[in-house]
Amino acid sequence: MGRSNTIANEARKNKEFNEFLEQKDKELDERLRQLKEGVNSSVEKYYSQNEWNNKPVLTYAKKDWQTTSTWSMDNVVNIVREIGKAISGGGASDLPSGNETPPDPATAEKIKENQPAIKSSISNIEETAISLVCGIMQSFKEVNSITSTQVVRDLPLGYGLHLFFGMEVSVYSRKQFFHNDFIQQYSMFFTVRYSLDEQISQTKMDIAKTLQFQIEINNSLKIKNSEVFEKNATKAIEESSIDMYESAERFQKLVNKKLDESNAELLIKMNELIKLHVAQMKLEMNRKLKIASS
């Protein structure tokens, strides 16, 4: 489990705070277990409804602690980026440690065959993770709210790969330790599955539509992010709290920056897929014209 330096330092100095963290860590383990059940249930439902076969490619679980003032999505996103690079650039042996479901030899070989195509779309995993993390953070109505939220989502990544993602974030107030700061603990669990049946059923336009949908989600999150900031800013002004205002402003800018970067990457990939689709349609049309004229 990771902890920010601020929390780790406080735990070393303060026995009461350390006991508090140990108790919350036990609760986090139980929440992670429930999160895994939710994601695995989503996997089972998706493939059974479609009557598709599937094989695991990777499965990772992660939990961490941060204070609101030091909060960053990098801890979460970097894990996913590392995994994305491994899938697109090598075999199963290149995946980071901690993979709970390494692919069997046949699945690994199939992914290797598709690597040129997968490499061009692997950022879908990364950008999807960023969007999901940004989205769940919007559930906190105020910077100083004390709450817990869980989200489970799934999205096709193309070429038979499908992402199932779950995340829970809880916010706790411990002003005797951190004054006006708040503690965030999160658990994350995701798995990527490969299905030959799903790959056969997908077209490039299907994948492009998925990316377009993700862009629309990101834009909705930006609007909601602005609304949340306005509420937090108003509350901070009413309470004459500079710390609260700065925390709200910092969070808004961080989330908007990540969503803008995600949209830019998704738009590039979407346009590439549309161009490939059009090129394939032209080739097919020319082929039919040749047959008709012969």
- Higher-confidence residue of 136 and 257: namely 257
Residue whose entry in the numeric block shows the structure tokens 């909705």: 220
> Contact 71/251 with Cβ under 8 angstroms?
yes
pLDDT confidence of 143, banded at 50, 70, 90? Answer: very low
Tell me which residue range forms the domain holding 90: 2-293
Q: What percent of the chain has pLDDT over 90?
A: 8
Whether the pTM exceeds 0.85: the reply is: no
* Tens-place pLDDT, residues 270-291: 888 788 777 776 776 777 677 7
Kindly state the tokens that stand for 293.
């004229």
- Return the pLDDT at 137: 57
pLDDT confidence of 107, banded at 50, 70, 90? Answer: confident
* Most confident of the following: 95-99, 125-129, 175-179, 212-216: 212-216
- Return the pLDDT at 88: 52
> Contact 39/165 with Cβ under 8 angstroms?
yes
> What average pLDDT score do residues 194-200 get?
86
> What average pLDDT score do residues 248-262 get?
81
Is the pLDDT score of 91 beyond 50?
no
> Contact 145/171 with Cβ under 8 angstroms?
yes
CA angle 15, 63, 54 (to 5 degrees): 160
Lowest-pLDDT choice from 17-26, 153-162, 278-287: 278-287
How many structural domains is the chain composed of?
1
> Contact 68/182 with Cβ under 8 angstroms?
yes
Which CB contacts under 8 angstroms, 24+ apart, belong to 42-51? 42/152, 42/154, 42/164, 42/166, 43/154, 43/164, 43/191, 43/193, 46/154, 46/162, 46/164, 47/193, 47/195, 50/197, 50/198, 51/197
- Return the pLDDT at 258: 80
